[in-house]
Chain A
């Protein structure tokens, strides 16, 4: 099992913004384990889904050269609980991307109702115990981005030109 907390991207503008959806199902195990007899989407997993939406956007911008990790949750405000049958829509806007990290703002919606608001920081792991470790193989990344439909909906920062496959995926 992989720790996927989005189902697919519906918008992906390189290094700029992205929209992803998460369909909530009663058959997901955590629905029964988080609060017994009260199935809600745990807020921590919504945060993870937003972080994946933004983290992969930043990672793709860096052509998968960096180990991008969620480093700081600046803000996470929730207005209500999402429940089975809801479709969560995560909208992420990149605020900054530098050569040491990145920051995003994001929202989650159920339909047109504002479910949550977020601010996050991402860091690149380059030193310490992670220096020589691989978080994902390039093959993993490639399939992840394809499975999330990045190359179907993705466009360059101009908002028009279809996104191209990075060189590292072409072998």
Chain B
């Protein structure tokens, strides 16, 4: 699904401000952690800025569902179970989990999140 240029530009601006990166680094494919150097506190900063930029309210766990990753039914030996993956898909329909599903190690989830995922999240929230 194509991402709206208007949403991409605002997300790009948000990420440039929150992560002190250049505009040309913030491509749709760029991962927040690996490519843009986001750390855990940056995600809270990003959420605050997205709320302001798009006039949306993001509840705790909506973008980073910690409760799924810490639930023994959903995560065992540091990997999501089939039930965990199903719960994740239901909670985050806006994120493409194809790559993550191949090796669903808990810590890998946030490091795989891309700029495009953030844009789709905003589109999901505004729909």
Residues of A at under 8 Å CB distance from B? 71-72, 74, 95-96, 98-101, 103, 121, 123
Which B residues are in CB contact (< 8 Å) with A101?
Answer: 41, 44
Whole-angstrom distance between the alpha carbons of A121 and B44 in the complex? 8
Distance of A74 Cα from B44 Cα, bound (Å): 12
Complex alpha-carbon distance, A96 and B52, angstroms:
10
- Best-buried of A100, A121, A123 by chain B (most CB within 10 Å): A100
Total interface residues on B, CB under 8 Å, equals: 11
B41-85, CB < 8 A from A:
41-42, 44-45, 47-48, 51-52, 60
**19 CB-based A-B contacts, threshold 8 Å:** A71-B41, A72-B41, A72-B45, A74-B17, A74-B18, A74-B45, A95-B48, A95-B52, A96-B48, A96-B51, A98-B44, A98-B60, A100-B44, A100-B60, A101-B41, A103-B44, A103-B45, A121-B41, A121-B44
**Alpha-carbon distance between A100 and B62 when the two chains are bound, in angstroms:** 12
Question: Measured between alpha carbons, how far is A74 from B15 in the docked complex, in Å?
Answer: 12
Chain A's nearest CB lies how many Å from the CB of B58? Answer: 9
| B52 / chain A contacts, CB cutoff of 8 Å | 95
Return chain B residues, CB-CB under 8 Å to A96.
Answer: 48, 51
Chain B proximity of A126: nearest CB distance (Å): 11
Using Cβ atoms and an 8 Å threshold, which residues of chain B touch A72? 41-42, 45
Nearest A residue to B47 via CB reads A98
